[in-house]
């Protein structure tokens, strides 16, 4: 699946693992994917969230409020597994790209997928950021329409 991801989307997935590790979490959740996407604030999708008031720093704080840092960092040699909701978000990103007749999956598709998630931890993070997921999803879609000229 990752062969269809753009470089920036792959960097977001790798960044999610880095974020989970730095927070001493033992799994990569949808909230880590969101946090990693915000590390590229100029990318489509992430830029809309920034305009709505989200930053990587505020998102990190919101993630920690719901899931405090663990006691020990995960072993460096082991890949962290994705949670069910993170896996679903990655699959939905594929569908988001397909719905727009695009072969490549970008950060914008990942953000749309995350905003459409029913994951409670992710929704709580977004709410702590003052972002309504449904409204943000509409804004991202509208911004992408302008970006792509549709």
CATH value at residue 52: 1.10.1780.10
Give me the residue label for tokens 């699946």.
Answer: 1
Contact in structure between 140 and 114 (CB atoms under 8 Å):
no
- The pLDDT tens digits along the chain (150 residues) read 677 899 999 999 999 999 999 888 889 999 999 999 999 888 889 999 999 999 889 998 888 888 767 666 666 657 889 999 999 999 999 999 988 888 899 999 999 999 999 999 999 999 999 999 999 999 999 988 865 544
pLDDT for the residue numbered 87: 95
Contact in structure between 145 and 112 (CB atoms under 8 Å):
no
pLDDT for the residue numbered 64: 84
pLDDT for the residue numbered 95: 92
Contact in structure between 114 and 41 (CB atoms under 8 Å):
no
HSE toward the beta carbon, residue 20, CA cutoff 13 A: 26
Structural domain containing residue 68: 2-148
pLDDT for the residue numbered 72: 67
Radius of gyration, alpha carbons of the chain: 14
**Count of domains forming the chain:** 1
């Amino acid at each position: 699946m990752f062969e269809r991801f753009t470089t920036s989307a792959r960097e977001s997935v790798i960044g999610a693992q880095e974020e989970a590790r730095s927070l001493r979490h033992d799994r990569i959740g949808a909230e880590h994917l969101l946090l990693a996407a915000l590390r590229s604030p100029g990318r489509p999708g992430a830029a809309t969230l920034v305009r709505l008031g989200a930053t990587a720093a505020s998102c990190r704080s919101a993630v920690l409020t719901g899931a405090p840092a663990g006691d020990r960092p995960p072993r460096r040699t082991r890949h962290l597994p994705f949670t069910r909701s993170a896996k679903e978000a990655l699959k939905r990103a594929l569908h988001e790209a397909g719905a727009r007749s695009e072969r490549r999956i970008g950060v914008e598709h990942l953000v749309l997928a995350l905003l459409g998630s029913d994951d409670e931890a992710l929704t709580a993070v977004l709410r702590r950021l003052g972002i309504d997921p449904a409204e943000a999803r509409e804004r991202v879609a509208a911004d992408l329409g302008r970006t792509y000229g549709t």
